[in-house]
Structures are given as C-alpha cells and as structure tokens.
Amino acid sequence: MDKKGRRYEVVFSGSGGQGIILGAVVLAEACGIHDGKYVCQTQSYGPESRGGFSRADVVISDRPIDYPMATEPDLLLAMNQTSCDRYHPELKADGLLVVDASLVSQIPAGRTVAIPFTEIAREQFGTEMVANMVSLGAVVQLTRLVSPSKLRAALTARAPQHTADLNRAALNAGIRAAKKIDVACLENLGAPEEEDV
Amino acid sequence: MSARKGQKRVLLQGNEAIVEGALAAGCRFFAGYPITPASEIAELLSMRLPLAGGTFIQMEDEIASIGAVIGASLAGVKSMTATSGPGFSLMQENLGFACMAEVPCVIVNVMRGGPSTGLPTNPSQGDVMQARWGTHGDHPVIVLSVSTVQDCFEITILAFNLSEKYRVPVIILSDAVVAHTREVFTFPHAREIQIVDRALPSMPPEWYIPYEDSPSGVPPMAPFGEGYRYHVTGLVHDVRGFPTQRPEEIKALINRLFRKITQGFHEIQKVQRFMLDDADVSVIAYGSVSRAARQAVKEARREGVRAGLLQLITLFPFPRSSVESVLKQCRGVVVPEMNVGQISREVKRVNRWECKVEKYNRVDGRLITPKQIRQLIFKLGT
Amino acid sequence: MSQGVTKLIHKYLRHDKKFPHVWCPGCGNGIVLGALIRAIDRIGLEKDEIVLASGIGCSGRMPVYVDFNTLHTTHGRALTFATGIKLAKPSLTVIAIMGDGDATAIGGNHFIHAARRNLNLTAIIINNQIYGMTGGQSSPTTPYGSYATTAPYGLIEHAFSIAELAVTAGAPFVARGTVYHVETLEDLVKKAILKRGFAVVEVISNCHVQYGRRNNMGDPVTMMKWMRDHAIRVEKASSMSIDDMEGKFTIGVLADVEKPIYTEEYQKIREGAIKGRPTGGPGHG
C-alpha cells in the first residue's frame, strides 16, 4: 500500500499461455474475498490463446476503486523480455520490478528483483506450467500484500482440483525463493536522480 | 465492504454479473451467437439456464438469435441475447420488430472498436447512436450503460424491469473493460431485489384487444397458447394487431409507442450525481469512462477546483433535464468518450446556456485515463 | 361439401375480421390454406394450441386470416421466431409458413439450421418460383432460362430443389406436394404436423400473375396442368430412369426417419444438470 494506504497497483505481464491472468485473479481473490479489500482486476491480450502478449492488472485499495486499471504500477512482474521492455516505462519511479530471470536477460536499472521462476518450476516440479504460481508466491512475499494463508485459500478455490497440490507447492517455492531477498536493501538503490545523470 | 452475514461474496467479471442479474430478474431464455468480448455471457448461461429450468440455445447467427428471443418472449418467457458490434448490426432488423410489436427483450452489446470487425478485444463506446437509431424508422427504445461489476448486476435487472413494464426492447451498452473487469460482488438477498413482470390481460379473451390504448399506453400482453388468440406483426397495425394503412390508425400507433416511453421518463432516465451541488466545472460521462471521470473529479477537488460528475446510466431516452441542470449551473462541461463524439452531440444539442461544452475523444482502443480528464477540468476551471 | 366448407370457415378463419384477403384470383395460397385447415381439423388440434408463424411475401399474409396464435415476422425469419416459441412452450404446435424466396434466399441459413437442429416444428414452404408480392423478381427456385422482372434476358442461375435441400440438411421428415394434387397435399401436411421432429412440406404452387405471365403460362389452369404433367409420385419415380425424370419432380414423402428431438434432449440436460451430472449431454452419459 502507498503512504495513504489507498491504492496499490500490480501489473502481471508475459506471453499468452504463461498463466498470467490466473495469477492476477488469484491475487485479486485473496485480497478481495479473503482479506476484505477493494480490488479491480483487468486484462488485455491479443487474439491468440497461446503466444502473443498478455497483461493483467490488479488494483488493491482500502477504499472503493474508481479507475480500474493500473496507471503507474507499484509493482511490475515481467515473465519475459518483451513484456519487461514494453511495460517497464510505466512503472512508478520507486516501483518494484520483478522479473523471471530465466527469460529476462536485459534487466533495467532501478529496484529490481530477478528470480528464475521458470527454472524453479521446471526443476522442482517438472513443468513450466506452474511458473506463474512460483512468481505469485514471490510477489506476495516481497510486498506483503496479503498473508500466504489467504493466498493459498484463494488458490484452492480458483485452481482446478486435480492441480491443487502442485499449485500450492509452486506457490510455496516462490515464497521461499523471495524470502532470500531483502527488499529494504533495494530501497537504497532507487532510481537515479536527475542530477546523477 | 458492507457484506452482511450469510451473503455470498465472489469475485466476478462484468459479463458474469450480467448473467447473475439476468437470472435474478427472471430471465429464462437466452439465444446467442459467439462473439468477443461478449461470449462469457452465453457460456455461463449455457451452464446456468438449464439449472434454473430455463433454455439456452446457440443459433446460426445474430439475426436468428434475436428472432428466437422475441419468439420466446411472445410465449411468455423473459428473454435476452448478448453480442458485440458486428452482431448488434445484424440484430437491428428484428430489434425494430420488437419495438413495433412491443415484445419485451434485453439485448446486451459489449462494445468493441469499430467500424466493421474493428477491434475485437479492445473497448469502445462507438455504438451509442446505433443503439438509439440503428433500426430503421421512428421508434422508441431504452439504452442503458454499465460501468462496474455492481452496475452489471443491477442495471441488467433494471433493463428487464423496464422492458417488461413498457413492452420495449432495452439495450445494455457495456464495453470490453467493464465486461472483463473482476471486482468483489456481494449477492443481495432475494427480498432486496425488485422484479417487474409484464402486465397480463385481466379480461376474458373475447374482450381482449391486444394493442388497445390506455392511460399508460402499454397494453397488457397475453402469452401465446393461453386462450388469447391474436395477431402479431411487424407491419403497422390497428388495435387488434391486424395490418392497416388507415392514416388515423397509423398515427395512433406510432404516437402511442412514443407516448408510453415519454410518460415513464421519471423512472426510465437514470443518472448518478457526484459532487455536483457546488460544481462549476463538470464531467458528463457513462460506462467505463465514468470511472476515470470520478477519479479525475476527486483529484481536481483536492487541487481546489469545484468539479463534479454527472454519470449517465440511461443514455436514451436522453436524460435531458438532468443534463440541462448541469449545463445551467456550470461554466464548463467535459464530455469524454471512447468514440469521436456521440453523447457530446446530445449534450451540445440541449445546451441553451453560456456553458462551454468540450468533448474529449479517444479511439485508440484504450480507456481514457483520469489524468486526461483532469487536464480538461483544469482547462475549463481556470 | 359446401356445408362442410362453411363450417370450417366459421371455425378457423377470422372471417369477420380481415377479409377480403390480399391474394390474386386463382392464387395457390388459398389451396394451401385450405389443406392446412382441413389437416388441422382432421388431427383435432385445439386452436389455442397452434401457432402459425410466417415471414414476408404473399405467403406471409396467411396467419392474418386464421384464428390461431398468429405471428407475421420479418423476411426469412419465421423459423427463428418459431424456434424461440417452441423452446419456451414445447406444448404448442408451431407451424411456419414461408415462400421460396423467404425460406431459401434470405432465410436459407435459418432453414438448413432448423433442419439440422431438429425441433418439433412444421415448415410449409409455398414454392411459386418467384417473388410475387414485390413484382415478379427471380427467386432461388426460378428455373434456369425463365424470365423475371430482374431477369429480363432470361435467368442464368440454377434453381434449388427445396425438398432435396431439406433432406440433405438433415430434416427427418420431408415431403413435396402441389396445389393441383389437393388431397395428397392435405395428407402430407397432416403427416408433417403429426411427425415428431422437424417436418418440411414443399408445395409447388402457381403465381400465374408474376411468373406464369412472363413464361407462357399466364393463367392458373395452364400452370395446374403443368403441375399435373410434371409431378411424379415418389413410389413411381424410384422405378424410372434418370432420362425419364428429366424436367420432372417427385411428389410424396421423400424422407421419414427418427431422430432425437431438441426439446426432449434439452429436458434431459436440465434434469442431468440439476442432479449434478457433468453436462456431457446425450451419448456421453
């Protein structure tokens, strides 16, 4: 939440088929249904079901939300290079960029966290399909937007029954991976001030 | 959030909330044809209607869809279809039939960018004038707009209620943003929902005159198969429903079709006033754009500008008196729209005062932002 | 006979309301209407149970004259409205009456899909091979080489055979009659109404005013004689060679098979959905 505790904007981005929208929906459900916050979850995507671009926004607030989309995201999750390049300019000056280090090699300067979500998914669970849940776990651990237990409850309600255990494990793997990172340290890096350039 | 005990809270998309609203309103028939960004409405109803004892059918095109909807309504069942611009164009023919034969039905148009196939997955408000004037000939019609998930539920119920009460097709204009935005929705208790059903004839069949005038101008409607055998046609007809070419009968019918709506203005023309009491600059907006406008007004107020918002729920019949009171009061009005200027024409048409009306238009498939509206408020406010 | 006719007129026609009718003297539409009413009377259906829906054209005016639940829809759309009525109230007997242009040009898509979908509807298509009401323009069943107001040099398109089209589209009952073979027509209409499933009756009719006059058959008698001389009973046609059938058409029942009916299948879906069975539908249960 920002200083006034009013509005926090998250953008999930990647390509179609990476489960970008599901990640956003689970976060919205955790914050909205299980934590009693106001949420707006929107998305934009190309005509393709697989490939192409995919973006999902989650706006979270203690008050009713007027504009439903992110305008200056507090957090951008980029699950591939294209979406990182495409959406990074929109990120708030002190916003947090989280990238999938497996697929994003050119990482912009600023407050950035790079975790190999796809690699973790492949190595620990044998499928890249759950990289979205690994990244969601990490995002929530880094931001404390909602408690892990509420996030797990939302996931159980939304994900298909037969994948519940796998998705929950992937979520936990993301939380563990993010625990190694101290976000407070990133604060010091900040974006370069104008006079520094 | 004001969730009370025992009330179900769920995360719903706008399209899903339209389905919930339709079912709560008593809709038991849906006929449609797949089209982005409206398809979720059909998909969800194909699952839900059989559970409610209703019927879902996927037709061969949108012409057939609205034909089946009108047929089901004539048999006494509340009916609906949902589409987007290209399908809405195909529905215009039978939309006119529903106006002429006075058959209640609800048509949801989840607007996309146009013309033609346009921008299937991007929002637009380009069908406002088509909703009003798309079918040929002078005809009355009711057009409502939705901006939030809550709206999608409530306005859909309102659409059915107005359609049933006035025997007129009601069009709900949504857009890709509203359709796919997920928000927390709290189901109201059934007793909190007001439902209106069409008036049935209270007289025996031999006394029933299906299109007879009355003070309300809305004749009672007998469903097919209940003993009231009468004729329904898209031709201009006399009070018994039979085709006529007599000038006095033609005039009486057309005048009544308009009068029944005019008499209902007080309950048909819905708006939402926000921070308008002392406003000297206002925004007039509808649909998803009104969400940007509301945020812009709040921000402008924080900067010391006395800004307000008139959100139009009913687009047609155009809520003239509400708009006029804003025009009279303010020195400037902004009309932001995701089209090249459709409602702004109406606002300008009724502006008889010194008020400066500025339109702001976006046709790039993106939602207008609060910042863009705020800038215009500042411009008119200084 | 005349007493019987009077009785039927009084029972079924809106004789005191909307007559005289709009059809030309000698028009085949009246013969079709007569056959329809006699068939309904023989079946013994209540007037309240019947919906007669039409599209646009001369045939479209038929519902005005009969004392049923009647519906005069837009051009080509009668079957779409009929579909909605039948789904909303399956107990009603829903009959759609259409013309050749109505059913197979502007309404062609609805026609083949109704045949495929198989609701328990009856579709009667009066085929007079021309757009009569609008003044004699060529229709999808106007024969190759004929003259019409929009084919002043002779038509270069090829005609649909409506009944065969219906069979191919999957209609479980298809018949063809003519306004010359009146008793057969009445029998075919009766069979079609009684058929459980989508039933089509194509009726070859005469428009001597708009079609006949331009094609050397300027009076109803000449056109009726043409029907008499060119109609071959289905049973007889099966033993005739292709050469012998050249220029002729069959009358009688062309198809009569059993298929699951939409409304009954849908009722199973309702019951299954309520019981919580996965909505796999028939064949996946």
Which pLDDT value is given to residue A49?
66
> Is residue B247 included in any domain, yes or no?
no
The CATH number linked to C177 is 3.40.50.970
Give how far the C-alpha of residue B252 lies from the chain's centroid of Cα atoms, to the nearest Å: 26
CA pair distance A159, A156, nearest whole angstrom:
6
Reported ipTM: 0.96
B81 in contact with C, Cβ within 8 Å: no
The whole-chain average pLDDT of chain C stands at: 95
CB burial of B324-337 (b: ≥16 within 10 Å; e: otherwise) equals bebbebbebbbbbb
Query: Do the Cβ atoms of B336 and B376 come closer than 8 Å?
Result: yes
Mean pLDDT to the nearest integer, C202-213 = 97
pLDDT in tens, B258-279: 999 999 999 999 999 999 999 9
pLDDT in tens, B219-257: 999 999 999 999 999 999 999 999 999 999 999 999 999
> Is residue C282 included in any domain, yes or no?
no
The domain total for chain C is: 1
Final residue in a domain of this structure, among B159, B192, B225: B192
Residue B129 has pLDDT above 90, yes or no: yes
DSSP C148: B
> Is residue C69 included in any domain, yes or no?
yes
Confidence of residue A1 (pLDDT cuts 50, 70, 90): very low
> Is residue C20 included in any domain, yes or no?
yes
Q: Helix count (H) and strand count (E) of chain B? A: 13, 16
Q: What tokens does C247 get?
A: 């220029």
Residue B309 has pLDDT above 70, yes or no: yes
Final residue in a domain of this structure, among B142, B169, B192: B192
**Interface touch A66/B182, C-beta < 8 Å:** no
Instruction: Tell me which residue range forms the domain holding B77.
Output: 9-192
> Is B186 found in the same domain as B327?
no
Residue C284 has pLDDT above 50, yes or no: no
Residue B2 has pLDDT above 60, yes or no: no
> Is residue C211 included in any domain, yes or no?
yes
**Interface touch C74/B76, C-beta < 8 Å:** no
Mean pLDDT to the nearest integer, B294-320 = 98
Which pLDDT value is given to residue B224?
98
Nearest chain B residue (CA) to C72: B233
pLDDT in tens, B153-187: 999 999 999 999 999 999 999 999 999 999 999 99
Confidence of residue C282 (pLDDT cuts 50, 70, 90): very low
Mean pLDDT to the nearest integer, A80-104 = 95
Which pLDDT value is given to residue C277?
60
Residue B58 has pLDDT above 90, yes or no: yes
> Is residue B222 included in any domain, yes or no?
no
pLDDT in tens, B3-16: 456 678 999 999 99
Confidence of residue A81 (pLDDT cuts 50, 70, 90): very high
> Is residue C242 included in any domain, yes or no?
yes
Top-tier CATH class for A7-187: alpha beta
Instruction: Give C98's contacts (C-beta < 8 A, 6+ positions apart).
Output: C54, C55, C57, C59, C60, C76, C78, C79, C107, C111, C123, C124, C125, C126
Confidence of residue C280 (pLDDT cuts 50, 70, 90): very low
Mean pLDDT to the nearest integer, B313-322 = 98
Residue A43 has pLDDT above 60, yes or no: yes
Instruction: Tell me which residue range forms the domain holding C229.
Output: 2-275
**Interface touch B225/C92, C-beta < 8 Å:** yes
Final residue in a domain of this structure, among B192, B226, B256: B192
Domain range summary for chain A, segments of one domain joined by +: 7-187
pLDDT in tens, A113-157: 999 999 999 999 999 999 999 999 999 999 999 999 999 999 998
Which of B64, B227, B231 faces C70 most closely, judged by CB atoms? B231
Q: Contacts of residue B288 in chain A, CB cutoff 8 Å? A: 68
Instruction: Tell me, yes or no, whether chains A and B touch by having 3 or more C-beta pairs under 8 A.
Output: yes
Mean pLDDT to the nearest integer, B294-305 = 97
Confidence of residue C18 (pLDDT cuts 50, 70, 90): confident
**Interface touch A33/B9, C-beta < 8 Å:** yes
Confidence of residue C3 (pLDDT cuts 50, 70, 90): confident
Q: Which chains touch B (3 or more CB pairs under 8 A)?
A: A, C
Confidence of residue A5 (pLDDT cuts 50, 70, 90): low
Residue A2 has pLDDT above 70, yes or no: no
CA pair distance A43, A73, nearest whole angstrom:
14
Query: Do the Cβ atoms of C59 and C8 come closer than 8 Å?
Result: no
The domain total for chain B is: 2
3-state DSSP of B96-140: HHHHHHCCCEEEEEEEEECCCCCEEEEECCCCHHHHHHCCCCCCC
Nearest chain B residue (CA) to C63: B231
> Is residue C235 included in any domain, yes or no?
yes
Residue C59 has pLDDT above 80, yes or no: yes
Which pLDDT value is given to residue A193?
54
The CATH number linked to B345 is 3.40.50.920
**Interface touch B71/C81, C-beta < 8 Å:** yes
> Is residue C280 included in any domain, yes or no?
no
Instruction: Give C171's contacts (C-beta < 8 A, 6+ positions apart).
Output: C115, C118, C197, C198, C199, C200, C255
Which of A32, A47, A69 faces B11 most closely, judged by CB atoms? A32
Confidence of residue C1 (pLDDT cuts 50, 70, 90): low
Residue C164 has pLDDT above 80, yes or no: yes
